């Protein structure tokens, strides 16, 4: 294919699959005890986009994300990242867990928790790792908390630490497994704004699994909808909402309300 301008070529490259899931099938158990959780998921993630994945409870959203990260293997199907098959966690993909409290080391200070992501990098000294970690803590608004321990921080602050650690690893793709579900409503809105700001500055590719439709619409460029178990992709919707997004103004837009209604209708629809 030929392009009239370099800009058109760049746009086409950005639209090409960056992280690709093809025919993903996942079953647990065997024989009569086999449970099919995911049945034939095809999903392409574009470089630099923010994609959200939603679906009914128990449909396999987190399992699909773990397969995309190389943390779990599919029963059938293929995952590729930058054209290479994924069978184990690849360099460049970082997974942000839902249970931030369990992902932080309680015996390490906040700055040393962040430094863990980079301290074993070739040529990285401990002092340099700490210096880099402080820079990322500053990005998430925790510049003065580096010497504290995780248990001395609120839940929202702990999640900011995990975000700082994820960014310190310099991800090309950041996979987020319901990272805001365990914090209060106000903190969740603050973290939404933080993640969007960091994503727009760092320009990594983001994939968010969430049960919260409002969250998916507010954050994402596209929203993929999973069906009930055994799940497949029901549809992928372009949000078509302007950026930058605002926690109040964006949620009052007619397009936001329309999308929210449509996606909730999809999730509430009963089989048969």
**CATH number, position 187:** 3.40.50.300
pLDDT at 181: 85
Do the domain assignments include residue 32?
Answer: no
139 and 194 share one domain: no
Q: Which tens digit of pLDDT belongs to each residue from 102-154?
A: 789 999 999 999 999 888 887 778 888 899 999 999 999 999 999 999 999 99
Residue ranges of the chain with pLDDT lower than 70?
Answer: 1-16, 270-272
227 and 180 share one domain: yes
Boundary (domain end) residue, out of 170, 197, 230: 170
Boundary (domain end) residue, out of 115, 149, 170: 170
For residues 92 and 47, the answer to whether their CB atoms sit within 8 Å is no
* Alpha-carbon span 56 to 166, nearest angstrom: 27
* Alpha-carbon span 253 to 249, nearest angstrom: 7
For residues 218 and 251, the answer to whether their CB atoms sit within 8 Å is yes
137 and 202 share one domain: no
107 and 230 share one domain: no
Boundary (domain end) residue, out of 170, 185, 214: 170
* Alpha-carbon span 60 to 41, nearest angstrom: 11
Do the domain assignments include residue 40?
Answer: no
DSSP-assigned beta bridge partners for residue 38: 26, 231
For residues 61 and 53, the answer to whether their CB atoms sit within 8 Å is yes
Do the domain assignments include residue 206?
Answer: yes
Residue 131's contacts (CB-CB under 8 Å, 6 or more residues apart) are none
221 and 125 share one domain: no
The number of angstroms, rounded, from the C-alpha of 209 to the middle of its chain's C-alpha atoms is 6
Domain residues for 125? Answer: 101-170
Q: What's this model's pTM, rounded to 2 decimal places?
A: 0.89
């Amino acid at each position: 294919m030929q392009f009239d301008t370099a800009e058109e070529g760049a746009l086409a490259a950005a639209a090409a699959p960056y992280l690709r899931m093809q025919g993903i099938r996942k079953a647990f158990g065997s024989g009569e005890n086999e449970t099919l959780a995911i049945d034939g998921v095809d999903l392409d993630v574009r470089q630099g986009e923010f994609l959200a994945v939603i679906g009914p409870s128990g449909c396999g959203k987190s399992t699909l994300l773990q397969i995309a990260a190389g943390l779990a293997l599919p029963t059938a199907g293929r995952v590729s990242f930058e054209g290479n098959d994924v069978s184990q966690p690849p360099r460049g993909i970082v997974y942000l867990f839902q249970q931030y409290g369990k992902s932080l080391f309680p015996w390490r200070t906040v700055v040393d928790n962040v430094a863990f992501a980079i301290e074993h990098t070739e040529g990285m000294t401990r002092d340099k790792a700490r210096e880099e970690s402080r820079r990322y803590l500053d990005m998430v608004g925790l510049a003065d908390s580096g010497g504290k321990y995780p248990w001395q921080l609120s839940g929202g602050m702990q999640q900011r630490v995990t975000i700082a650690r994820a960014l310190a690893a310099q991800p090309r793709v950041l996979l987020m497994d319901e990272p805001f579900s365990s914090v209060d409503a106000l903190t969740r809105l603050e973290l939404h704004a933080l993640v969007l700001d960091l994503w727009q500055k760092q320009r990594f590719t983001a994939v968010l699994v969430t049960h919260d439709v409002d969250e998916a619409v507010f954050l994402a460029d596209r929203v993929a909808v999973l069906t009930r178990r055994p799940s497949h992709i029901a549809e992928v919707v372009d949000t078509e909402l302007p950026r930058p997004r605002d926690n109040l103004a964006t949620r009052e837009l007619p397009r936001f309300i329309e999308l929210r209604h449509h996606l909730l209708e999809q999730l509430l629809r009963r089989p048969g």
